[in-house]
């Protein structure tokens, strides 16, 4: 990076020492929306990926309408900027920027717009489905250094992107290995604990506060800063609370009871509001609460769940779940070991996730430096 950066700096000093011209995005590239297609028109056997408003393609289509272009989601993941090499179909839920003339390399434009995409959140409109302001995007100022400089910037960022991808792949593989290692130790500790512990149902070790839950329709909620919890976490913020303290929530219904993509048992604290989609349990010991949380998230609960289309873990079945609970000292030992391991794997501030974050920040820093220019004033 240092050698290429030095070369770019020399080119800037030689070719544009007084700054560069800025032009509006609409005058640098051909900008337009994609073309609408419906899901039934797609098929995995078709050749061309379909790009809509998300961060990845949504299917395949038999035709293409763009190639080697920049896409910017106008809704869905509004403001997400992507580079799509080769031929693809862009739907009307994204804007597409294509090469216009020789004033700007389209890949250079991609890197610049990607670098600016953090600002796009300030230019969204709409309620439940935010959209990117077309007027703002069309008028986005693009710096236009000479093509020789653009080429060097693209070459540098391409190399850095490839290196970053390789490093991230290695780190993610290591992260996945550590997750499996954590699960192995977790299961080993809990299984060995099973053999020497007394079994308790949740009703005997925690106080169930389901009767105090109050569902409130979206239209009836008054906005505030109090978390409003549902089956899988916070779903809104309201102005009042019905609980104040430390509790364990357990999903009562929803597909995640079977899919288990997110934890079905999770802690809450402070002033909160809970609707009727999550059971709420209060424990005398924080250690026991954490132990139960880990245990419930580690075991198969399908035998306690009723309903296929609408999975449900009712209170009667919840109370049938048996917890192998050792002495409080043993609980503390197990919780301490697993929490340290969990932090190493999942805590964004330490361990591998922190390293991944640092890699991305380093890349974004260099990209920002390479794409910052003084504007030439005539």
Task: Convert the pLDDT of each residue in 294-336 to its tens digit.
Answer: 999 999 999 999 987 789 999 999 999 999 999 999 999 999 9
Under DSSP, the state recorded for 93 is T
Verdict on whether the full-model pTM lies above 0.75: no
Cα distance between residue 84 and residue 115, in whole Å: 16
Between CA 180 and CA 182, with CA 181 as vertex, the angle to 5 degrees is: 90
Cα distance between residue 21 and residue 124, in whole Å: 27
Helix/strand/coil (H/E/C) assignment for every residue in 307-369? CCCCCECCHHHHCCCEEEECCHHHHHHHHHHHHHHHHHHHCCCCHHHHHHHHHHHHHHHHHHH
Helices (H), 139-284: 147-195, 202-205, 256-259
Query: Do residues 279 and 212 touch, judged by C-beta distance below 8 A?
Result: no
Query: Do residues 215 and 276 touch, judged by C-beta distance below 8 A?
Result: yes
pLDDT at 173: 84
C-alpha dihedral sign at 279, 305, 191, 196: positive
Structure token pair of residue 294: 């880990």
pLDDT at 84: 94
Over 80: is that where the pLDDT of 194 sits? no
Element (DSSP H or E) covering residue 77: none
Tell me the average pLDDT across 207-228: 93
pLDDT at 277: 95
| pLDDT category of residue 239 using cuts at 50, 70 and 90 | very high
| pLDDT category of residue 211 using cuts at 50, 70 and 90 | very high
Cα distance between residue 331 and residue 190, in whole Å: 10
pLDDT at 221: 92
| pLDDT category of residue 355 using cuts at 50, 70 and 90 | confident
Query: Do residues 33 and 95 touch, judged by C-beta distance below 8 A?
Result: yes
Tens digit of pLDDT for each residue in 246-296? 999 999 999 889 888 899 999 999 999 999 999 999 999 999 999 999 999
| pLDDT category of residue 179 using cuts at 50, 70 and 90 | confident
- The more confident residue out of 373 and 353 is 373
């Amino acid at each position: 990076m240092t050698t290429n950066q030095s070369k770019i700096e020399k080119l800037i000093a030689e070719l544009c020492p007084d700054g560069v011209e800025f032009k509006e995005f609409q005058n640098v590239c051909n900008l337009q929306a994609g073309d609408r297609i419906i899901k039934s028109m797609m098929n995995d056997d078709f050749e061309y990926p379909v790009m809509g408003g998300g961060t990845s393609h949504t299917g395949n289509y038999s035709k293409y309408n763009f190639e080697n272009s920049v896409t910017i989601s106008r809704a869905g993941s509004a403001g997400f900027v992507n580079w799509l090499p080769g031929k693809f179909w862009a739907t009307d839920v994204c804007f597409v920027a294509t090469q216009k003339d020789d004033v700007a390399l389209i890949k250079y434009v991609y890197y610049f717009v990607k670098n600016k995409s953090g600002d796009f959140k300030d230019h969204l409109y709409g309620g439940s489905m935010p959209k990117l302001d077309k007027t703002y995007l069309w008028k986005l100022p693009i710096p236009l250094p000479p093509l020789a400089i653009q080429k060097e910037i693209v070459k540098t960022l391409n190399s850095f992107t490839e290196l970053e991808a390789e490093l991230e792949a290695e780190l993610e593989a290591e992260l996945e290995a550590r997750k499996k290692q954590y699960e192995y130790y977790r299961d080993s500790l809990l299984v060995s604990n099973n053999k020497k512990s007394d079994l308790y149902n949740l009703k005997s070790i925690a106080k169930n506060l389901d009767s105090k839950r109050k569902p409130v329709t979206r239209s009836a909620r008054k906005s505030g800063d109090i978390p409003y919890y549902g089956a899988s976490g916070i779903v809104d913020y309201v102005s009042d609370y019905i609980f104040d303290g430390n509790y364990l929530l357990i999903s009562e219904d929803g597909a995640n009871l079977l899919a288990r993509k997110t934890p079905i048992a999770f802690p809450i604290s402070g002033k909160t509001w809970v609707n009727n989609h999550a059971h709420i349990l209060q424990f005398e010991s924080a250690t026991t609460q954490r132990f139960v949380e880990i245990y419930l998230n580690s075991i198969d609960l399908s035998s306690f769940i009723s309903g296929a289309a609408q999975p449900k873990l009712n209170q009667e079945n919840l109370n049938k779940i048996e917890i192998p609970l050792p002495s409080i000292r043993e609980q503390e030992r197990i919780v301490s070991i697993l929490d340290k391991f969990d932090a190493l794997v999942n805590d964004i501030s330490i361990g591998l996730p922190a390293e991944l974050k640092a890699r991305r920040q380093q890349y974004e820093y260099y990209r920002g430096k390479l794409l910052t220019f003084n504007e030439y004033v005539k």
